[in-house]
Amino acid sequence: MVRLVRIVSILSFVFVNSQELKASSLENVRTLSLECINRIDTSKCNQALTKMESLQRLAARRKEYFCQTYVLGLEADLLNYKSQESNQNSFLLMLGKVEQACKDLDNIQ
């Protein structure tokens, strides 16, 4: 019985982490972010922020603090852009930095 519980626990861990990787993929962040800023689509902006939050939590758990810091900055830039406190160029610059800082995290899939 104990062995079965361990197997189920391990499988659950693998499933949850693989789902989170899919949910936090850099490509999803990029696509949703660009749809958000190009169309000022609130629903896409909210989805992008949700994906960014998943990515930064994953980075934190994996101790990828460089990546995590840039993702937090990207979240702030998107919120500032939505409230018209920053421009599109600032956001795009930060998006490029996140893609560089987090590329190893995203390749684990």
Find the domain containing 32 and state its range: 2-106
pLDDT confidence of residue 85: 73
Q: Which domain CATH number covers 98? A: 1.20.120
pLDDT confidence of residue 53: 94
- List the Cα angle 70/79/19 in 5-degree steps: 60
42-99 per-position pLDDT tens digit: 899 999 999 999 999 999 999 999 999 999 999 999 998 888 877 788 899 999 999 9
pLDDT confidence of residue 103: 87
**What one-character DSSP code corresponds to residue 85?**
S
What beta strand segments (E) does the chain contain? none
| Cα–Cα dist 71/90, whole Å | 14
Which one, of 92, 87, 61, lies nearest residue 74 by Cα?
92
Of 103 and 17, more confident: 103
| Averaged pLDDT of the chain | 79
pLDDT confidence of residue 19: 45
6-53 per-position pLDDT tens digit: 443 443 444 444 444 444 478 899 999 999 988 878 899 999 999 999
Q: How many domains does the chain have?
A: 1
Write b or e for each residue in 40-63: b if 16 or more Cβ atoms lie within 10 A of its Cβ, otherwise e: eeeebbebbbebbebbbebbeeee
